[in-house]
Amino acid sequence: MRDAFIAFLLCVAVLAGTEVFLHDALFNKVSYSNSESIDHQLRERNAADDWDILFIGNSETRWGIDPAMIDAAFLRHGIVEKSFNHAFDGFGPSWWPLLLPPILKHPSLRNVRVVVLGVQMINEEHVIRPLEQERSELQRPVLMSPFAIDLGVEELFRKESWDATLSRKLFSGLWAVRYSSAVRTLLFPTALYGTEQVKFRPRRQGESYHGFEPHMSIDLDQYPLQLANWKAQFNEKQDFKPLPPDIWKAMTGNSGFFDELCRIVRSSGKELVLFALPTNPVIIDTFRRRENYHRNADLLRRWAAERNVLFVDFGIQDVQNPTEFFSDVRHLSAAGARSFSWRLGESLAASELVAPLLAGGRKKQK
């Protein structure tokens, strides 16, 4: 009996020591999100708790919204606020009704009053249905990460037996169980057990700022080949058909996608703002989507007016200096992001829907 008790104490001591080690070292050695970019972004977010505006969306928002310019525009209107770019590469509007509620519960975001989503006006959006959604190369590692576990979304995309699910829930307080995949990555070569980490793109320009990731302007030597390779990915008969009008009518209708998104944001005590993503026009023209764009923008403008939501639409970005304004066939460069973000910030700061929410906070001292 005494030997059994000693053995039990040793097991408890080993387990406790393991937990102490993991709490201290695991995410210093292993990626928390399986994305180098998101890891850095989360560290920036968690370093403060006075964020006022949260930008969400995909890489077009991540590369395209510079919080420094947003904040400067508000300051010009006498409002001191602090914005953060929380967009994730590969996670478009359809993902945010699922991701946003647990993200907004993080203590660092408790003061957020406005949530701003970048919308691609030529895409179809719908609320993600777990286990039915095909995950891309950018999404899969993140959705298998400790970050996804803490958000409560990882299990929605995992198919496993009931006993394995029960075991994970019963022992979820133990990091050795809760983050078992990260522990395997720590102990064994990534090629055997770990999830490959999504790395930074090589053409980023400088360090990120408040979640924003600046990128270089178009590489004139590589751009023609990049554009040709991009166009070669698409099927003429399948991908170049106009979007059926009823798709966006449903999205902007009663109980449609945007109603669900608005309900989620407002139920968290925040206000929703939408803006049309500043995409390189080559995307719109390659797919012959200008007519779709304007029709969908009109639908979203009417939806927003009826729901008292601000929608900012500067139209398609037919700029005079596209090789400087854009980074590739889709995204803004750092220079383009500064220009676009200033215009967006001016619209937000001048809005009667947005400005009053922020003017009552940290007012600029005269």
What pLDDT is recorded for position 223? 86
Tokens of 189: 């070569």
Mode of pairing for the β-strands spanning 53-56 and 114-119: parallel
Tokens of 235: 């099927």
Are 141 and 78 within 8 A, CB to CB? no
If you average pLDDT over every residue of the chain, what do you get?
A: 85
pTM, rounded to two decimals: 0.89
Q: Please give the pLDDT value at position 74.
A: 96
pLDDT of 154: 78
Residues 118 and 122: their CA atoms lie apart, in Å, by 12
Residue with tokens 């080559």: 282
- b/e per residue 169-189 (b: at least 16 CB within 10 A): eeeeeebeebbbbbbbbbeee
- Taken as a whole, the chain contains a residue count of 366
Would you state the pLDDT for residue 288?
87
The predicted pLDDT at position 363 comes to: 44
Task: Assess whether pLDDT exceeds 50 at residue 366.
Answer: no
The model's pLDDT over 273-294, given as tens digits with 9 standing for 90+, comes to 999 998 888 888 888 889 999 9
pLDDT level of residue 306 (50, 70, 90 thresholds):
very high
Long-range pairs, 350-357, Cβ under 8 A, ≥24? 350/77, 351/310, 353/271, 353/273, 353/308, 353/309, 353/310, 354/114, 354/271, 354/273, 354/310, 355/77, 355/79, 357/113, 357/114, 357/271
Q: Where are the domains of the chain?
A: 51-131+204-363
CATH architecture assignment, domain 51-131+204-363: 3-Layer(aba) Sandwich (3.40)
More confident residue, 83 or 245: 83
Q: Which two tokens stand for residue 280?
A: 């390189």
Most confident of 127-136, 140-149, 210-219: 210-219
Tell me the mean pLDDT in the region 301-311. Answer: 98
